[in-house]
A = this chain, B = another copy of it.
Amino acid sequence: MATPSPTPSGPVGVVRVLTSADAAFVGTHGRVLAEAYGLETLSRCIPDQPHGIHDEESERRAEPKIVALAEDMVRDGARAIVISCAADPALALVRRAVPVPVVGAGSAAAGVALGLGTRVGVIGITEGAPPAVRSLLGERFVGAERPEGVRRTTDLLEPEGRRVTVESAERLVAAGADVLLLACTGLTTIGIGPELRERFGVPVVDAVLAAGLLASFV
């Protein structure tokens, strides 16, 4: 951040890292943040990546697009940027490129979890926690679980999705987790946070909501 935000009253720009021509789909996370915090949001997706970010090559390819999109949104009045992916792709690059606060869903979720508990269990769809999350948690990382049979975010929408997610949470709590971090935005989509909190009695940190919480702070 080189200078103060030029438009402190503008919307929060939400970068989706998955290409879609469906405006309602692109706006999903923005709507969640509008409902949760009353934030005005502006959602756009990067071009030409219909499968999003799923490996190093696709992440590297997405980075300049994320930077360009954030710059566009700041030009159009965004007072803060949310990179709505738990891997925090291009976070450092975007922070250098735009003069407004930039929040990555992964580091936001890790930060919020560290403020709510001391032993953090991570649920996601990759092997292990995203590095952006893992590196912040340090010694407070209890473990990462991928719900059984889930490989892609859309697998969570299957009938078994909720059950296998609850089983993952159960293993993490049994391992000592006193806070759960949902590191896949598909878990936001199925809205399983409240059920896990109710069932296990621990705070549950949804990465998209955590990012919006921090964006509402600045």
Binding site for B on A (CB under 8 A): 1-4, 92, 95, 99, 101, 103-104, 107-118, 136, 138, 178, 197-198, 201-203, 205, 209-211, 213-214, 216-218
On whether the beta carbons of B101 and A110 are closer than 8 Å, the reply is no
Q: Enumerate chain B residues within 8 angstroms of A104, measured Cβ to Cβ.
A: 115
* Interfacial chain B residues near A203, Cβ < 8 Å: 1, 101, 217-218
12 pairs across A/B with beta carbons < 8 Å?
A1-B202, A4-B201, A95-B118, A99-B201, A110-B114, A111-B113, A111-B115, A112-B115, A209-B217, A210-B217, A213-B213, A213-B217
Smallest CB-CB separation from A101: which chain B residue?
A: B203
State the 9 A-B residue pairs at the shortest beta-carbon distance, nearest first.
A111-B115, A108-B115, A111-B111, A111-B114, A4-B201, A115-B214, A3-B201, A203-B218, A1-B201
In the complex, what's the smallest C-beta–C-beta distance from A115 to chain B, in angstroms? 3
Instruction: Tell me the smallest distance from the CB of A85 to a CB of chain B, in Å.
Output: 14
CA distance A165 to B100 in the complex (A): 23
How distant is the Cα of A117 from the Cα of B114 in the complex, in angstroms? 15
With A and B bound together, what is the CA distance between A1 and B218 in angstroms?
Answer: 30
Measured in the bound complex, the distance between the Cα atoms of B216 and A149 in whole Å is 34
Q: Within the complex, what minimum Cβ distance (angstroms) separates A109 from chain B?
A: 8
